[in-house]
Chains A and B, each alone.
Chain A
Amino acid sequence: GAGVSQSPSNKVTEKGKDVELRCDPISGHTALYWYRQRLGQGLEFLIYFQGNSAPDKSGLPSDRFSAERTGESVSTLTIQRTQQEDSAVYLCASSYEVATQYFGPGTRLLVL
């Protein structure tokens, strides 16, 4: 079946603008995760959704970052008033319950 998809694949924006990144998880997966990966670095956990439970937002770096998920479907990560240090690859993953995570291809964000 189809894997995790993310859009856009690349995004260039100006400092101070807001951006929205989208993730479509694998159908039937109850859990969805967002990570940030700076150039040459590891995976930085941002936020996790599991079913109808309150999301785990413990990894969000500032209040400029927020995410929503509609049911067990699409998720949107929003970064407000972008800064140059927000430039990174944003990866989404999904899993059935809390188990093996399957990653999307990522969105490459460049803030000028």
Chain B
Amino acid sequence: GENVEQHPSTLSVQEGDSAVIKCTYSDSASNYFPWYKQELGKGPQLIIDIRSNVGEKKDQRIAVTLNKTAKHFSLHITETQPEDSAVYFCAASISGYSTLTFGKGTMLLVSP
């Protein structure tokens, strides 16, 4: 089955800096890669996703890149703000066929 590795487990940045979280996956058939943000005391919320037919997707300060050859994908947050502080989870699946396999999460702390 699919295996997703996520790094780093914790990340501390200063407000205004960029943050990058990286994930690798094992199943070359995986074609759907969502990212979730989980704030303290809440359920995970989808923030962005990418499918294997594109290499990059952006939504304001958030972008995700995908390298199918290397089987890794990354979340990029620019101009970080304290409200970006949360745990971020990456996931992978074969869309329409398999359920999501999640990484273990990255705790992002943005200091003012």
A residues touching B (Cβ–Cβ < 8 Å)? 4, 31, 33, 41-43, 45, 48, 56, 91, 93, 97-106
Contacts and interface: CB of A to CB of B under 8 A. Distances in A.
9 contacts: A45-B99, A91-B44, A98-B93, A98-B96, A98-B98, A99-B32, A100-B34, A100-B46, A105-B43
Interface stretch (B11-19, B61-69, B101-109): B101-109
Nearest to B49: A100
Contact of A42 (B42, B99, B102): B102
A75 to B, nearest CB: 15
Nearest to B105: A42
Report the interface size class on chain B: 20 to 34
Contacts, number: 47
Interface of B: 32, 34, 36, 42-46, 49, 89, 93, 95-100, 102-105
Contacts of A98: 93, 95-99
Contact of B89 (A43, A56, A100): A43
Nearest to A4: B43
Contact of B43 (A48, A97, A104): A104
Chain A interface helix/strand/loop/mixed? loop
A97 to B, nearest CB: 6
A80 B99 CA distance: 26
B100 A103 contact: no
Nearest to A45: B99
In the complex, which of the residues B42, B99, B104 has the most CB atoms of chain A within 10 Å of its own CB atom? B99
Given A43-B102, A98-B97, A99-B95, A91 B43 contact: yes
B89 to A, nearest CB: 7
A93 B95 CA distance: 16
B99 A48 contact: yes
Nearest to B107: A40
